[in-house]
Amino acid sequence: MNCLIRMKKFRLIFLFVFLSGCVKIPEGITPVDNFDLNKYLGTWYEIARLDHSFERGLVSVSAEYTLRNDGGVSVVNRGYDPLKKQWKKASGRAYFVNSINQGFLKVSFFGPFYGSYIIFDLDTRDYQYALVSGPDKSYLWILARSFQIDESIIKKLVNKAKSKGFQTSDLIFVDHENHHDFKK
């Protein structure tokens, strides 16, 4: 019986460490301050990303952020899979970790499992582009309000990410050609 109790305690401790370990800020990354959620809400288009399994091969990727009744944020990610010739969609929710004025949220697409969503560069005037990290430096996104942004802005964001230790040579620049029907 003692062995069974220890096993259950171990599982609970492991689960707690696992769940809390996914909501963290990578070393050297600082979330933006004076964040205005109302200006951030709406549609963002993925300009570039580091590869990961849940978006692998997708083009025309967008994210829609809307306010939830509980003060959180609804997240709907969409992307087109050209091999399967179909749209993929993932819905989730996000909540501020520290303060509503800081660009540090935890986001979940899978039940109680949350990961970090850290906005560490942002067009603070017009909210037209953002640089976003996950819980570690294997997650990186360049987002914008339109399919294309000025090459000088992309270069600035890539250089900032590189200076923070991201493998920017592995960035995938997202194709938005021929797949502009984001409502599917």
Higher pLDDT, 151 or 54: 151
Length of the chain: 184
Q: Quick one: pLDDT at residue 10?
A: 37
Does residue 182 belong to any structural domain of this protein?
no
Query: Is residue 18 pLDDT above 50, yes or no?
Result: no
Does residue 179 belong to any structural domain of this protein?
no
Does residue 28 belong to any structural domain of this protein?
yes
As for how many domains the chain has, the answer is 1
Could you read off the pLDDT of 73-118 as tens digits, one per residue?
A: 999 999 999 999 999 999 999 999 999 999 999 999 988 899 999 9
Does residue 63 belong to any structural domain of this protein?
yes
Does residue 180 belong to any structural domain of this protein?
no
- 3-class DSSP state of 73: strand
Higher pLDDT, 19 or 78: 78
Could you read off the pLDDT of 116-138 as tens digits, one per residue?
A: 999 999 999 999 999 999 999 99
Whether residue 101 contacts residue 35, with contact meaning beta carbons closer than 8 Å, is answered with yes
- Segments forming the whole domain that contains residue 45: 2-173
Does residue 36 belong to any structural domain of this protein?
yes
Does residue 184 belong to any structural domain of this protein?
no
Q: Detail the DSSP E strand segments found in the chain.
A: 42-49, 59-67, 73-81, 86-96, 104-110, 113-122, 129-133, 140-144, 172-173
At 33, list the tokens. Answer: 């301050």
* pLDDT confidence band for 14 (50 / 70 / 90): very low
Go through 126-148 and write b for each residue having 16 or more CB atoms within 10 A of its CB, e for each that does not.
ebebbbbbbbbbebbbbbbeebe
CATH code of the domain containing 163: 2.40.128.20
Does residue 57 belong to any structural domain of this protein?
yes
- 40 Cβ neighbours under 8 A, 6+ residues apart: 65, 119, 127, 130
